[in-house]
């Protein structure tokens, strides 16, 4: 019997970043179209040459949405995403033009092309089934990763396919965790970022983080908290508010604009009143004057960027770099080659102008607040869905090998890692 369906990988195949897959159910659909931000360059997925019926974006992060305006230079089909994904993605698309210019690369699209893209965007709420074509329907479920993130369920005849995008199974400060009640699932394409490991206990990590921030301010220092703009900056502010720390909190960088979008969609947050209270309680920093004010007395400064590659964090860190009372609190994964990674590995940071690496005199520590599922969280989700077949994307090759072995041991389900440029077929008649 012939296999009916196929997946072709264009990016995020045995790597993290530039997610792009074409899923074929007799009609083709593009699932995500992102970019990969490397230390000194941006990498793109392989070109999508085959016509598709629709593009579906799982969430706003640039490694999933970042190339959509480029897609519309040649395509005229609709794209589907949640409302908050669209608002956050729009912000990131505009920012990505600046990032490309900063890297000395020609941006793949301009502001006019971002405007164009909005003509084709169609927003879909969670748990509303929508026909994409006569034969294929779409339904989104909360993925618990960031605001608006979705698990995507596609149905063709009686067959169901679930693409997880990035998701989080356990609850976090802002989200309840992914909605795993997605009905019958035959095939799953799952991210595998942390397929090889477990994570620190979140509650203990929050406590250690808040205690560290508090003692930094108590000894007369500044607690600098570099954050990712989407999700992490709101989560950190929310955690700090919950602990009721006795110190002023400042919020700087792109996290401010993102926070406004979070406030507008607070109904999608676990404790919307708590988040509103937290965001209303912080001092939103504006311009040079605001930054000077934040540095007047010991305080907590939550600011982008999360890996200290750019953003207002650079300016703050230069001021406390030799102050033994102050401390940098990293709150996310630090990619190879970023200042954050160099700080953790060597205790050094580049000088602002000369980029010369110098030993820091302040304190530093990394805290684990992942928005991705650990191995056991994913096993739990896959066990609940118990599909006929599993496909792995969005993870390093070695991690995928370990994760496939684990899935086979625990669940006995056939598992395939999607390779770049290769077509994997499935679904016998
Ligand atoms: Zn993501
Ligand atoms: Zn991702």
Question: How far is 369 from 330, CA to CA, in rounded Å?
Answer: 10
The structure tokens 């095939």 sit at 187
Q: Per residue in 397-425, pLDDT tens?
A: 999 999 999 999 999 999 999 999 999 99
Distance of CA 376 to the CA centre of its chain: 20
Q: Per residue in 183-223, pLDDT tens?
A: 999 999 999 999 999 999 999 999 999 999 999 999 999 99
Domain spans of the chain, in order of start: 3-197+371-428, 202-366
Question: How far is 375 from 380, CA to CA, in rounded Å?
Answer: 9
Q: Three-state SS for 386?
A: coil
Longest dimension (CA), the chain: 73
Q: Which of 182, 119, 175, 120 is nearest to 148 (CA)?
A: 175
Q: In what order do the strands lie in the sheet with 249-252?
A: 283-284, 249-252, 300-303, 223-226, 327-330, 363-366
Cα–ligand 1 centroid distance for 428 (angstroms): 32
Cα–ligand 2 centroid distance for 167 (angstroms): 9
Say whether pLDDT at 2 is over 70. no
List residues, by chain if needed, whose CB lies under 5 Å from ion ligand 2. 63, 166
Structure tokens at 1: 């019997």
* CATH number attached to the domain at 3-197+371-428: 3.60.15.10
Cα–ligand 1 centroid distance for 63 (angstroms): 7
The structure tokens 């004057």 sit at 289
Tell me what the mean pLDDT of segment 151-171 comes to.
97
Structure tokens at 33: 């179209």
Ligand nearest to the CA of residue 88, numbered in listed order: 1
Cα–ligand 1 centroid distance for 240 (angstroms): 23
Structure tokens at 418: 């999607």
Q: How many CB atoms lie within 10 A of CB 159?
A: 18
Predicted pLDDT at 428: 79
Predicted pLDDT at 142: 98
Predicted pLDDT at 351: 85
Ligand nearest to the CA of residue 64, numbered in listed order: 2
Q: Radius of gyration over alpha carbons of the chain, in Å? A: 22
Predicted pLDDT at 429: 65
The CATH number corresponding to 202-366 among 3.30.300.180, 3.40.1080.10, 3.40.50.10890, 3.30.1450.10 equals 3.40.50.10890
Question: How far is 299 from 278, CA to CA, in rounded Å?
Answer: 16
Cα–ligand 1 centroid distance for 249 (angstroms): 26
Structure tokens at 404: 């496939």
Ligand nearest to the CA of residue 144, numbered in listed order: 1
Question: How far is 407 from 415, CA to CA, in rounded Å?
Answer: 7
Say whether pLDDT at 181 is over 60. yes
Predicted pLDDT at 422: 93
Tell me which of 350 and 367 has the higher pLDDT: 367
The structure tokens 């990016």 sit at 11
Torsion angle, alpha carbons of 256, 258, 264, 267, to 10: -120
Proportion of the chain above pLDDT 70, given as a percent: 99
Q: Which residues contact 195 (CB under 8 A, 6 or more apart)?
A: 375, 378, 392, 395, 399, 400, 402, 403, 406
Q: In terms of DSSP H, where are the helices of 229-271?
A: 232-242, 255-264
Strand residue runs (E) in 111-265: 121-123, 130-131, 136-142, 150-156, 159-163, 187-191, 223-226, 249-252
Ligand nearest to the CA of residue 230, numbered in listed order: 1
Question: How far is 192 from 422, CA to CA, in rounded Å?
Answer: 18
CA-to-CA separations, 384 to 100, 186, 404, in angstroms, rounded: 41, 12, 17
Say whether pLDDT at 39 is over 80. no
CA-to-CA separations, 385 to 161, 169, 183, 290, 317, in angstroms, rounded: 11, 13, 8, 50, 46
Ligand nearest to the CA of residue 231, numbered in listed order: 1
Ligand nearest to the CA of residue 192, numbered in listed order: 2
Cα–ligand 1 centroid distance for 311 (angstroms): 20
CA-to-CA separations, 413 to 28, 273, 340, 405, in angstroms, rounded: 25, 42, 38, 10
Predicted pLDDT at 335: 83
The answer to whether the CB of 10 falls within 8 A of the CB of 43 is no
Question: How far is 72 from 113, CA to CA, in rounded Å?
Answer: 8
Tell me what the mean pLDDT of segment 147-173 comes to.
97
Structure tokens at 409: 């041991």
Relative orientation angle of helices 287-294 and 313-320, to the nearest 10 degrees: 40
Q: What value does the mean pLDDT of the chain take?
A: 95
Q: Per residue in 57-108, pLDDT tens?
A: 999 999 999 999 999 999 999 999 999 999 999 999 999 998 888 888 899 9
Predicted pLDDT at 1: 45
Q: Three-state SS for 287?
A: helix
Question: How far is 108 from 130, CA to CA, in rounded Å?
Answer: 31
């Amino acid at each position: 019997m012939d296999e009916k369906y196929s997946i072709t990988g264009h990016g995020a195949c045995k790597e993290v970043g530039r997610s792009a897959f074409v899923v074929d159910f007799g009609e083709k659909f593009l699932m995500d179209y992102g970019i990969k931000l490397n230390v000194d360059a941006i990498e793109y997925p392989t070109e999508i040459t085959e016509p598709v019926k629709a593009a579906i974006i799982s969430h706003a992060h640039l490694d999933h949405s970042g190339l959509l305006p480029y897609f519309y230079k040649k395509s005229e089909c609709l794209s589907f995403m949640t409302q908050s994904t669209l608002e956050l993605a729009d912000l990131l698309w505009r920012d990505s033009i600046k990032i490309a210019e900063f890297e000395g690369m020609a941006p793949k699209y301009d502001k006019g092309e971002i405007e164009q893209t909005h003509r084709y965007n169609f927003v879909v709420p969670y748990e509303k089934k929508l026909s994409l074509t006569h034969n294929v329907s779409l339904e989104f479920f909360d993925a618990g990763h960031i605001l608006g993130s979705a698990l995507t369920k596609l149905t063709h005849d009686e067959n169901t396919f679930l693409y997880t995008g990035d998701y989080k199974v356990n609850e976090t400060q802002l989200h309840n965790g992914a909605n795993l009640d997605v009905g019958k699932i035959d095939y799953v394409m799952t991210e595998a970022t942390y397929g090889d490991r477990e994570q620190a206990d979140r509650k203990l990590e929050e406590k250690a983080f808040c205690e560290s921030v508090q003692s930094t301010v108590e000894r007369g220092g500044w607690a600098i908290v570099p954050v990712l703009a989407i999700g992490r900056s709101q989560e950190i502010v929310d955690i700090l508010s919950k602990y009721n720390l006795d110190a002023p909190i400042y919020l700087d960088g792109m996290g401010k604009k993102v926070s406004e979008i979070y406030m507008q969609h607070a109904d999608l947050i676990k404790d919307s009143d708590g988040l509103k209270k937290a965001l209303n309680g912080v001092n939103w920093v504006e311009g040079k004057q605001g930054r000077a004010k934040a540095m007047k007395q010991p305080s907590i400064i939550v600011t982008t960027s999360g890996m200290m590659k750019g953003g207002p964090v650079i300016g703050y860190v230069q001021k406390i770099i030799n102050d033994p009372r102050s401390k940098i609190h990293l709150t996310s994964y630090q990619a190879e080659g970023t200042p954050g990674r160099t700080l953790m590995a060597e205790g050094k940071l580049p000088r602002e102008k000369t980029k010369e690496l110098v030993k820091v005199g302040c304190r530093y520590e990394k805290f684990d607040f992942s928005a991705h599922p650990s191995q056991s969280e994913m096993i739990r989700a896959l066990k609940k869905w118990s599909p006929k077949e599993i496909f792995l994307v969005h993870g390093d090759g070695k991690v995928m090998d370990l994760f496939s072995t684990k899935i086979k041991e625990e669940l006995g389900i056939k598992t395939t890692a999607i390779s770049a440029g290769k077509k994997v077929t499935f679904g016998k008649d």
